[in-house]
Amino acid sequence: MTKRWLAVFAAGALAVAGFAPLGFYPATLLGVAVLFAFWLGAASARAAFADGLVFGLGLFGVGVSWIYVSLHDFGGMPAWLAALATFLFCTVLALFPALAGYLAVRLGSTRAARLVLVPALWVLLEWTRGWLFTGFPWLAIGYSQVPASPLAGFAPVLGVYGVSLAAATSAALVAWALTTRVGRWRALAGAAGIALAGLALTAQAFTRWDGSLTRVALVQGNVPQAMKWEPGQVADTLVRYARLADATRAPLIILPETALPVFEAQLPAAYRERLNAIGRENGGDVLAGLPTGSAEGPYYNSVVSFGVSPTQRYHKVHLVPFGEFIPAKAVWGWVVAVLHIPLSDFSPGRPDQPPLAIGGMKVAPNICYEDAFGEEIVPRASAANLLVNVSNDAWFGDSFALWQHAQMSQARALESGRMMLRATNSGLTAIIDRRGRLVAHLPPFREGVLEGDVRGYAGVTPYARFGNAPVVAIVLAGVVAGFLRAVRRRR
C-alpha cells in the first residue's frame, strides 16, 4: 500500500507540471490517468477514497504551496501555524478528488461503469469546489490545457470545466487502455477523437473584431508588499505611479489593484488633477485601483477612471474570504488580529455593474481573484469589447501563483472571445489575445510599463450565453448513466 500511495502522490505532484509556469499539459493528463487507473481497478470505495486523498495532497501540496508564503511572509503568521494551516487547507481540497473516487467505486461495480462515472464525478466535484464556501477553483485540470492543448478549443463552448471534462475523459480512456486489453484501441481512438474535436473548435471564431483599436499601457509599480500600506510609504507610492503613467502617451493607462493605497476621498486634489491631466493629454483615460468609501464603512475594492471620460467606478463583487472579508465574524474575527491584513472587511459591489467607457473602449473590469470565476465575469464581458484585470499578487511572493493566476485570465479570454489586459503590482502584467495566448508580459518583480495595441471584439460565445449549465448537465447525465449501467450489470 505504501508503494501504491507513493505512486499516487507522485502522480498528483506530476500533474502540477501541466499548469503554468511549466505548462507541459500532457503531464496533467498523465498524472490524472495514473490515478484513474487505480480507481478503475479499486477493490473498495474506501481504497479509492484514500487514493484520491493522497493524489490531492500531491496536487495541492505542490501546486498551492504558495499559501504558506502568503500566510507567513506577508500575513505575519508564525511559521508553524502557517505550515499547519497550509497543510489543513490542502487536505480539505484533497477531499474533493477523494470523494470523486469513493463515489465512482461505490456507484460503479464494473470497470465499464467506472469509465463513465470517474470523469463525470471528477468534473462535478471540481465544479462544486469552484462555488462551495465562495469557491476555490484553483488547479481545475482544465486550466492546465490553456492555451496550447487541442482541448483548449472546448473553452469558448463549455468553459474551463468543459475543458476539464475533455481532459478527464481522455485520461480515463488512457487509463482503460493501460490496464486492460479489452477495447484498448477503441479507448485510445476515443481519446484521439476528443483531441481532434478540440482542435477543430480552435479554428472556430465565435467573436469578431468590432473595428475599435487603441494603445494601452499597463503599469507595474513593484511596490514591496511589506511597505505598501505603511503611512510613510504612501507619498512615494503615489509619486511612483504618477511618474510611470506620465511616461506613456497611450490613451488607455491601467494601474494595478489598490495601486493608490488611500481612500479615493483622501486622494489629494492636486494628485487627482494630475491623473486627469495625464488622461486628457493622451486623449483618453487612466484607470487606477484604490479603495473607495471610508474606513468607517462601507468601503470597496475599486477601480476609478480619470481623464477625458466622466469619472466611472467598478467595485469588486467576489471578495476573498479572510483576505477581504471575514465570514461569520463571531467565530472567525480573531483571524484579523493574527494576519495583520489592512482593510480586511470590504463590502461587495453589485453584480450588475455596467462596462466602463474609457480610452475609446468598453471595458469589463475584474479585480484580482475575480478572474478565477468565469461564470461570473464572462457574461458581463458580452456587453463590453475588452476585459481588464487589475491585481496585486505580491502576497504570494516569487511562486507558481503569479503564473497560475495569469493562466486563469488566459482561460477567461478564451471563454469570452475577448482580449484580456492584466495590470499587476509585481507580476504577471500581461496582454492576452482572444485565443488566450500571452502576447507580451513584463518580468515579475520589476518596475515597468507594458505598451501594446489592442482590439475590441463583439459577439457572444456559447459559454458566455449558457455558462456552466451545459457541462453540469452533461456530467450529471454521466453519473446517472454510469450508475444505471452498473445496476443493469448486477441484475
Look at residue 73 and give its three-state secondary structure. helix
Q: Are 406 and 428 in contact (CB under 8 A)?
A: yes
Does the annotation mark 257 as catalytic?
Answer: yes
Q: Are 146 and 410 in contact (CB under 8 A)?
A: yes
Residues 6+ apart with CB under 8 A from 76: 338, 339, 340
Closest CA to 345 of 319, 317, 371: 319
Alpha helices (H) along 130-183: 155-179
Q: Are 145 and 28 in contact (CB under 8 A)?
A: yes
Buried b (16+ CB within 10 A) or exposed e, 120-138: bbbbbbbbebbeeeebbbb
Buried b (16+ CB within 10 A) or exposed e, 238-255: bebbbebbbebebbbbbb
Q: Which of 90, 126, 228, 257 is catalytic?
A: 257
328 burial type by CB count under 10 A (0-12 exposed, 13-18 middle, 19+ buried) = exposed
Cα–Cα distance measured from residue 58 to residue 257, given in angstroms and rounded to the nearest whole number? 32
Q: Which of 126, 228, 264, 368 is catalytic?
A: 368
Grid cell digits, residue 336: 484579523
The total of other beta-carbon atoms located within 10 Å of residue 215's CB is 18
Does the annotation mark 368 as catalytic?
Answer: yes
Whole-number CA gyration radius for the chain:
23
Number of H helices, E strands in the chain: 17, 12
Does the annotation mark 90 as catalytic?
Answer: no
Q: Which of 316, 362, 370, 375 is catalytic?
A: 316
Residues carrying an active site annotation: 257, 316, 368
